[in-house]
Amino acid sequence: MSKSSNWSSDYKHPKWQKKKAEILDRDNHTCLLCGDTETQLHVHHGYYGKHDTKIWDVPDKYLWTLCENCHETVTEEMDRVRQLVGSVHPSKINNLKSLIKSANGEEEGTSKAEDGHCLKRSFYEQNDTDNSPRQKKSEIWTDADDRIIRAVSWRPDDQLCDHTSVANGNGVLRLYHQNGGIEEKIYLQDGVKHGPYESYYENGSTFVESSYEFGKPVFTTERDPNGYLLCLRRFDSEGLEHALQVEFYSHNPALDGDIVKSNRWYVHGLRHGPHLLWNYYGQLEGTYMFIEDKLVTDKADIVLKYLKSGHPNRRGASSLKTIFGPQPCCKELLNTKVDSPDDAPF
């Protein structure tokens, strides 16, 4: 707690008298602890703000109407609380913050709803100088299998989002950034993601584009805030990484096109095939070979021999040339289908 150096005289200042009257009106001239309306009422500061903050500039959410007796009791109890807080190990501060948020009904997390479902709440960020109550972002009800049963969301202006409509596990959930732009757009069927999934940066550019089938990912791409590719992944029917996975560096304006960071082949969630690493200028720097998720060699000559030999049913030497030169292009490789370990590209 911090007080202005002239805090005792500040209580007589017209600005504080005006603020005090506003808080008393807000609380209906009633002690918030005992309900007393007859004895002298005080306005309690739960927090005085940073050093030299004037008492009338403290946000309303830190001011409470209390009767004289309750004010004395609360002041003593708060002193004890501050002593306890001072004894908390620094590594436990976040736990303490969570307990306080939970006591205020502002905890971002999961609680038990009356119907037995789990209720997950999220809130928008809020500045300490903001007097308004903390603004809800979403409420999502899930069942024992973590399927979404019902969901509602709010825009930053406290308006209920009419584009979010999730009931009985079906519908669309939209979440928003603080600036009002869309953050996520989630299509649901039977409580799980089904169809397109999209998320966006605050500047409005696309971050993630994915497709789901009954909760299992089919493919996903990620981009940086400027729209350049960061990764492309594909998955099998069980939602396991499958076929060629490509990761990109953030765009290098000195080079033309998206610069590949790594190529990794998967078969039903297991690394199975070559694993290639590239530097920022598109030059090959690391070569590995995996068989059913086990590293069998990191010898470049062996891995490159497998790659250059190609696969009779997949590609010829001409398409492989794009792997070894600067600025590798993976467009042809992305079309390679891998259905079993026998189809791996080596």
pLDDT in tens, 117-160: 687 878 777 655 555 566 888 888 888 888 999 999 999 888 88
Name the more confident of 55 and 50.
55
For 296-327, the pLDDT digits (tens) are 888 877 777 766 665 433 333 333 333 333 32
Taking CA atoms, 35 is separated from 68, 104, 118, 325, in Å, by 12, 20, 34, 78
How high is the pLDDT of residue 131? 53
**Domains of the chain, earliest start first:** 7-91 (3.40.1800), 107-125+134-216 (no CATH), 228-346 (no CATH)
Residue 329: pLDDT band by 50, 70, 90 thresholds?
A: very low
* Averaged pLDDT, 242-247: 80
**What is the β-pairing status of strands 206-213 and 192-200?**
antiparallel
The answer, yes or no, to whether residue 238 has pLDDT greater than 80, is: yes
Residue 256: pLDDT band by 50, 70, 90 thresholds?
A: low
How high is the pLDDT of residue 201? 94
How high is the pLDDT of residue 257? 63
The answer, yes or no, to whether residue 181 has pLDDT greater than 80, is: yes
The answer, yes or no, to whether residue 51 has pLDDT greater than 50, is: yes
How high is the pLDDT of residue 14? 85
* Averaged pLDDT, 55-61: 84
How high is the pLDDT of residue 226? 85
Written in H, E and C, the secondary structure of 230-265 is: EEEEEECCCCCECEEEEEECCCCCCCCCCCEEEEEE
The answer, yes or no, to whether residue 197 has pLDDT greater than 90, is: yes
* Averaged pLDDT, 1-25: 76
How high is the pLDDT of residue 126? 64
Q: Over pLDDT 70: what percentage of the chain? A: 73
Q: Is 225 exposed, middle or buried (0-12, 13-18, 19+ CB in 10 A)?
A: middle
Q: Which two tokens stand for residue 96?
A: 């303490």
* Averaged pLDDT, 207-214: 94
Residue 306 CA neighbour count, 13 Å, CB half: 20
How high is the pLDDT of residue 211? 94
Rounded CA gap, 247 and 258, in Å?
A: 10
How high is the pLDDT of residue 209? 95
Taking CA atoms, 150 is separated from 175, 189, 194, in Å, by 14, 11, 15
Lowest mean pLDDT among 51-55, 139-143, 189-193, 271-275: 51-55
